[in-house]
Amino acid sequence: MTRVLVTGGAGFIGSHFARSLNDVYVTVLDKLTYAGDLTNLQGVRHEFVHGDICDAGLLARVVPGHDLVVNFAAESHVDRSIAGAAEFMRTNALGTQTLLQACLEAGVPKVVQVSTDEVYGSIDIGSWDESAPVRPRSPYAASKAGGDLIARAYAVTYGMDVSITRCGNNYGPRQYPEKIIPLFVTRLLRGEKVPLYGDGGNVRDWIHVSDHCAGIRLVAEKGAPGEVYHIAGTAELTNRELTGRLLEACGRDWDLVEQVPDRKGHDRRYSLDDSKLRALGYRAEIPFEQGLKDTVRWYAQNRDWWDR
């Protein structure tokens, strides 16, 4: 791997991935939506291209010459997709197809499409393996499933080497404070109330962003064309349990927690079986307790990043 194009690389996970590639030449292409922030790339050696993965003309100029393209570019917040789905379909489905077509025309040897456990819907007990059917329940999940399916189609139809990763809920530094962990931490640090959806019993599987990036890198190196790989987390918690840990980490009490009406169509539980990636040598390394402590410390020490 010598030249890597990271689309959506100014966002939370893409910028961590770009930062982890200290041994290669990196291009970041990002539209800089509300979620993209160039300060996320401070200290990362890269060439930056401001642009949209739906722009075929731009991609025809930028994509050629890269040995690996990893697609993080997406609208990523479920609540925003419920308020307005169109941009999600445009970027997550059509944008993925436009990028794949550019990669096909440029003869890019390897593409990784970064996706989510949310494409499967909700599971009460047990875990999904990669053969589970996609049954998305939110516009966000449906748009990501669309991107995954077109990636698979490019692998089958054109023989393109594109692999798909599906991961659980990420946490870590530089996550936009609309997702539950940075939203709660930044509000608790300010002494403000936090909104807990419904009965707080929704279960998520948490993974540190660095572990997710290591899994993606392994799939880039060893993943087979058209195959899906799960990257599971290290801590399965209800939102109520997570809230308790965040209150403790921020030195606050339950009186700052406000129960609010549940999200429409809120998936109850996600759970991934990642034996397939483990067979390639993957292990999540960061224990949740340590990762959460470090993350809370990062938000406490980097108020400038989120308090603007």
Contacting positions for ligand NAD (CB under 6 A):
7-8, 10-14, 30-33, 35-36, 52-54, 72-76, 91, 95, 114-116, 144, 167, 169-170, 176
Of 35 and 237, CB closest to ligand NAD: 35
Closest CB to ligand NAD: residue number: 11
The pair of structure tokens assigned to 211 is 């572990």
- Give 30's strand partners: 50
CB 133 within 8 A of CB 83: no
Of 30 and 161, CB closest to ligand NAD: 30
Min dist. Cβ of residue 253 to ligand NAD (A): 27
Report the candidate in 188, 187, 174 with the shortest Cα–Cα distance to residue 35. Answer: 174
Cα 20 from Cα 204, distance rounded (Å): 25
CA atoms within 13 A on the CB side of 95: 25
Instruction: Name the active-site residue from 52, 118, 161, 205.
Output: 118
What are the distances in angstroms from CA 47 to CA 8, 9, 41, 51? 13, 11, 10, 13
Q: Is 118 a catalytic residue?
A: yes
Min dist. Cβ of residue 269 to ligand NAD (A): 15
Give the N- to C-terminal CA distance of the chain in Å, as an integer: 37
Min dist. Cβ of residue 10 to ligand NAD (A): 4
Q: Is 253 a catalytic residue?
A: no
Of 29 and 196, CB closest to ligand NAD: 29
**Residues 6 or more apart in contact with residue 290 via CB below 8 angstroms:** none
Cα 307 from Cα 133, distance rounded (Å): 41
Min dist. Cβ of residue 254 to ligand NAD (A): 25
Min dist. Cβ of residue 178 to ligand NAD (A): 9
Instruction: Name the active-site residue from 52, 117, 205, 211.
Output: 117
Of 210 and 252, CB closest to ligand NAD: 210
Q: Is 140 a catalytic residue?
A: yes
Q: Is 210 exposed, middle or buried (0-12, 13-18, 19+ CB in 10 A)?
A: buried
Of 143 and 243, CB closest to ligand NAD: 143
Q: Amino acid identity of 130? A: E
Instruction: Name the active-site residue from 30, 75, 140, 154.
Output: 140
Cα 167 from Cα 118, distance rounded (Å): 9
- Give 237's strand partners: 204
Query: Rounded to an integer, what is the distance from CA 177 to the centroid of its chain?
Result: 14
Of 95 and 226, CB closest to ligand NAD: 95
DSSP string for residues in 200-229: S--EEEEEEHHHHHHHHHHHHHHPPTT-EE
Min dist. Cβ of residue 157 to ligand NAD (A): 22
Min dist. Cβ of residue 224 to ligand NAD (A): 20
Query: Rounded to an integer, what is the distance from CA 19 to the centroid of its chain?
Result: 15
Of 123 and 252, CB closest to ligand NAD: 123
Q: Which residues are catalytic?
A: 117-118, 140
